[in-house]
Structure formats: structure tokens, C-alpha cells
Chains A and B, each alone.
Chain A
Amino acid sequence: MKKIIEVQNLVTKFGKNLVHDGLNLHINEGEIYGFLGPSGCGKSTLMREIIMLEQIKSGSIELLGHKIEKIRSRTAQKLRMQWGVLFQSNALFTSLTVAENIALSLKEYTKLSADEIKDIVAFKIDIVGLKQFDGTLYPSEISGGMKKKAALARALVMDPKILFLDEPTSGLDPISAREFDTLILKLRELLNLSVVMVSHDLTSINTTLDRMAVIDNKIIVAEGTLEEVKQTDSPFIERFFNEGLR
């Protein structure tokens, strides 16, 4: 299998606070990969480093064949068009309607006509399970679950290769959360996506993730499939999988 992301000896420091002390992991093409760990262990930071929102201190991250620590701004821009990011708080632009939010990248980066853009937007709205009418609404007028879907449609608009999800099911009710899991699995199947997500949700960890990395005490304590991770001897893993399921 082809590696699409490879992290080597990654060290992250905020001031005096050492967050990551030499992380190593890789993510294969077509996988749904999860970052797990107690809160404050730097899962989201790791994701932000991979999508180039945060500078890395030392070590290297290779993304679709490019080393991002010495990337040129044009290459970086090209890379950014090959992934979609769904933020924890959705980060929809509040002054634009859902349809305008989704259409933004198409308007900016392609020379497609308004009519063609509209067709693509309508398609993406349908594929994430929103109604066409929802496209005319503003983010403040729709529910949390719909916002998630709208943000997902925006992340998918350029047909990305990789989808980054930061706690996608947090703030959703259990039914919407399960729907979201199903949606992710379906989209992976349909669009040949690779998905990287930060998650706390045990059910979604069980049902969606192919492989995962557990970060605790600044290092990766376990990496691999769910079975492999569960067999690792670590107090966090013990508590997370056993007490959480009771």
C-alpha cells in the first residue's frame, strides 16, 4: 500500500511545554486513520501540523510525497487543494449561505461557469445528505448536525484525496453521530478518500477506523488496528476502552 502521510521523529514545543517527543507514524492510501489520546495530549496539534497550520520544531512530515518542513509556497498551495478539512467548530463562513460556502473554492480556483459551479454545489449538498433547500440558508439558521454536513460538503468540494476531520462527531447527538460515521464510510467507498481524524467517540472508533495511533505522555504508545491497540499495555488504553464501554 502507498503511504500518503509519513511522520518521522516529530518534536513539538510550545514555549517550555514539550508536546510531542519524537512521533513516528504513517498513514496508507484509502485508510481511515485516527489520532486518539487523553485531552491535551496534542492530537489536534499533530493534525494542525500535518495540514500546515502549525510550524514544526524538528523532525519531518511527508505528505503526498512532499516534505512539508521545507515546502515551497506554490507546492504548498497545490497540496492544499488536495485535501479537505472539517474543523471541530465547522468554521463555516457566517456571512455566506451554505451554497456560497461550498462554492467558494470553485469560484476562486477554477474557471467554471456559474451554472457548472451550481451543479457541483447541488451534487455535494445531496451527497452529504442535506436537502437542496438548505443551500440557501445561512449557517446561523441551521442545526449543529446540518452545519457538520455543510462543512463536510465544503471540505469535499474540490474532490480531495485526503479528508481531515477534527472530532467530527463531537457535539452531535448519538443518532446524528452514527449517521455521520456511515456517511464517512460511504464517502470513502464512493470517492476513494483517505480519512484522518481526531476522535474521542468510542463507537465511531470501533466502526470507522482502520488503524489508529494513541498518543499519551508525549509519545505514541500504540499504533495499528483496534485489536493491536487494545492489546498494548498502557493505563490510558486500559481506561479508555474498558471503562468507556461500560
Chain B
Amino acid sequence: MTCDKAEHKILFYSKGEPMISYQNVLDGRGFALTFVGMAIVFLALWVLTLSVSLIPKILQRLEKQFPGLLSDGETGYQPVRLEEDKVELGFIAAIAYVLHHRRISRS
């Protein structure tokens, strides 16, 4: 396939205006392009998916072989730490403190 503009002009713009036709799709190999293009995109991202899944496993093995090599060797499942968690814990602690203080003052 070529992107030579002059050649395509002869194909599609011979009368100055583009022709709307299903034949254009066939001539431009639209379906083959779509199939091959999507297959390559999927292949690339599938290989990326596999590699990304393997990285923590490889790192875990490396950590076993060379302990301390990775400063934060947390590669297994752990929920992501959110700053909000700290805020929430602080909030709960404050409420608990107030309730505890009230109970003591009542008794």
C-alpha cells in the first residue's frame, strides 16, 4: 500500500469531488487494515499486560535471592494507601475520645 497522494487523487478525486462508494473501502483495503491494526494493538497491549503481571513476581524472586535489594519490596496484594484513611482514622479517634470522656464524666 502506498500513501502517494497523486495516485490516490487519480483513484478517488478524479473529478475534483470524492466519490462515495463501497468500492473505495475495498480498494483502500479498509477491512484488512482494520483487522491487522486491531490485532497488532491487542497483541502489543496483551504482551504489555503479561509483562506487567510478571514484574512483581520477578521482583519477589529477586528479593528472595538478594534480600534488601529493593528498598520497598511490597509486591504482593495490598490495598492502596489513601491519605483519606489517615484522616478517617484521626476522625474516628477524636469521636472515640469525646465519647470516652463523656462516659467518664457521667460516671
Tell me if chain B binds chain A: no
